[in-house]
Chain A
Amino acid sequence: MENEGQEKDSEIVTEVNLKEDFQASGVADILSELDNSLIGLTPVKTRIKETASLLLVDKAREKLGLVNESPTLHMSFSGNPGTGKTTVALKMANLLFRLGYVRKGHLVTVTRDDLVGQYIGHTAPKTKEVLKKAMGGVLFIDEAYYLYRPENERDYGQEAIEILLQVMENNRDDLVVILAGYKDKMDKFFESNPGFRSRIAHHIDFPDYSNNELLEIAEVMVASMNYQFNEESKKAMAEYIKIRKKQPHFANARSIRNAIDRARLRQANRVFNNSKGPIGASFLSQIEDIDIRQSRVFSGGIDK
Chain B
Amino acid sequence: MRVTQGTFSFLPDFTDQQIHEQVQYCIDNGWAVSIEYTDDPHPRNTYWEMWGHPMFDNPDAAAVVYELNECRKIYGSYYIRIIAFDSSPGWESIRLSFIVNRPSEEPGFKLSRTEVKGRNIQYSITPYSSDNPQGSRYK
Contact = CB atoms under 8 A, between A and B. Distances in A.
Interface of A: 1, 103-104, 106, 131-133, 135-137, 167, 171, 173-175
Contact of B58 (A1, A132, A167, A171): A132
A137 B17 contact: no
B66 interface: yes
B62 to A, nearest CB: 4
B68 to A, nearest CB: 12
B59 A137 contact: yes
A133 B66 contact: no
B17 A104 contact: no
B60 A174 contact: yes
SS of B interface (majority): mixed
Contacts of B17: 1
B66 A104 contact: no
Nearest to A103: B60
A115 to B, nearest CB: 16
Contacts, number: 36
A104 B58 CA distance: 11
Contacts of A104: 59-60
**Best-buried of B55, B58, B62 by chain A (most CB within 10 Å):** B62
Q: Which of B55, B57, B59, B61: most chain A Cβ within 10 A?
A: B59
B8 to A, nearest CB: 18
A104 B24 CA distance: 11
Contacts of B60: 103-104, 135-137, 174
Interface string B52-73: 0001011111110011000000
In the complex, the 3 A-B pairs of residues with the closest C-beta atoms, listed nearest first: A136-B60, A132-B63, A174-B62
Contacts of A167: 66
Interface in B56-95: 57-63, 66-67
Contacts of B61: 136
A281 to B, nearest CB: 42
24 contacts: A1-B17, A103-B62, A104-B60, A106-B59, A132-B55, A132-B58, A132-B63, A132-B66, A132-B67, A133-B57, A133-B58, A133-B63, A135-B58, A135-B62, A135-B63, A135-B66, A136-B60, A136-B61, A136-B62, A136-B63, A137-B60, A167-B66, A171-B66, A174-B66
A109 to B, nearest CB: 14
Nearest to A102: B60
Contacts of B67: 132
A174 B60 CA distance: 9
